[in-house]
Amino acid sequence: MASHRRPKQPSRTRVTVLTATAAAAVALTSQAAHADPKPTKSEVKAKVDKLYHEAEAATEKYNGAKEQQDKLKKQVDAIQDKVAREQADLNTLRRELGSIATAQYRSGGIDPSVQLFLASDPDSFLDQASALDQLTAKQAESLQKIKAKQRTLAQQRKEAQEKLGTLADVRESLGRNKQKFQSKLGEAQRLLNTLTAADRAKMAEGEQRASRAAGDRVDLGNEVPASALGAAALRAADTRVGMPYVRTATGPNSFDCSGLTQWAYAQAGVEITRTTFTQINRGTHIARSQLKPGDLVFFSNTSHVGLYAGNNTVLHAPYPGAYVRYESMSTIGSYQAAVRI
């Protein structure tokens, strides 16, 4: 007779292991099917360029906070110097008042009638009494001076305290923006690291080649600057073609975008502010159709600036890894505004 024993059931542990293995296999297969393909070199470059522009916006805010911090620090130092001088004057007045009080005590410690009785020379006593009246008047004057000094000191200390509070806020903003651009630059570097060393070298070589070519073959047309000042600034910036972009740098051998424009105008004899956000308010706003060589041109929500060079071309410091160069306005970013210094 054939055996009818029921087949042995697999253990619960074995079923669990098999189920987990199968699920993992399905998950891996699914992940493989849906995994994003590795970005190409051109895709990496596009993403990196975008991150560099975002880092530049944070850098300009950092530069602005740094400029404000430096100004506030000078103001606080000047106020604190005044406070120290006023305090020294106040201490001198207090010492003078103490001397007067001591003199009064010494000469007023005996009743005047007794002093007159004991005095060998009544005329001498009357002279002393007259001096005592003068001391009393001097004391009143000293008290008024002390009160005035105390009011001045209180006002100056309040002003210093307010400035220090603002300085603390600015330093906090400085730290946030520094962290932000460092984060963007770090993300860009991680993307670049997905490329081979050979590809990274080619990209760097391409940036250098593009900068050299821009300086050698750029066609600026025959546009005439609106002023000698603009022409001088543009000539100065032209001598920096090929210099590397370095965040927060203001020259003469490396620049960020607003550092270059500030340096160029300084060589022309005019001081302009440090950041794109303040440079845009420095001169006269003009329409794009009115651009002349030497004018400042702003892009990408005022986070980037360059000098108009003619023929729809700008001379600027682009972004990390690039060099000061001439470039078509159509490839830099979204046009924002133009200013003539």
Are 227 and 300 part of one and the same domain?
yes
53 is catalytic: no
Same domain, 329 and 263: yes
What is the pTM (predicted TM-score) of this model?
A: 0.58
Provide the domain limits for residue 137.
Answer: 41-192
Q: Which residue type occupies 121?
A: D
Is 4 annotated in the active site? no
**Overall domain count for the chain:** 2
- Within-domain flag for 203: no
Measured distance CA(136)–CA(76) in Å, rounded = 39
Residue 18 has pLDDT above 70, yes or no: no
Among all chains, which residue has been given the structure tokens 């002279």? 127
- Across the range 168-184, mean pLDDT stands at 81
In-domain check, residue 144: yes
Q: Are residues 320 and 221 part of one domain?
A: yes
Q: Which of 229-233, 262-266, 320-324 has the lowest mean pLDDT?
A: 320-324
CATH code for the domain in which residue 87 is found: 1.10.287
Is the confidence at residue 289, as pLDDT, over 50?
Answer: yes
Whether residue 9 lies inside any domain: the answer is no
Q: Residue 27, Cβ neighbours under 10 Å: how many?
A: 10
Name residue 165's beta-bridge partners: none
pLDDT at 293 over 50: yes
d(CA 183, CA 95): 58
Same domain, 267 and 233: yes
4, 53, 285, 304: which is the annotated catalytic residue? 304
Nearest-angstrom CA–CA distance, 320 and 66 = 20
DSSP assignment of 242-261 equals TPBB-TT-BSSS-B-HHHHH
pLDDT at 320 over 80: yes
290 and 227 in a common domain: yes
Find tokens 């620090």 and name the residue. Answer: 73
Judge if 182 and 221 occupy the same domain: no
Q: pLDDT: is 192 or 22 the higher one?
A: 192
Does residue 285 have an active-site annotation? no
* Residue range 85-105, pLDDT digits in tens: 888 888 887 777 666 556 555
DSSP for residue 110: S
Q: What is the CATH number of the domain that holds 287?
A: 3.90.1720.10
Last residue of a domain, one of 192, 222, 254: 192
Give the C-alpha separation, 333 to 331, whole Å.
6
DSSP 306: E
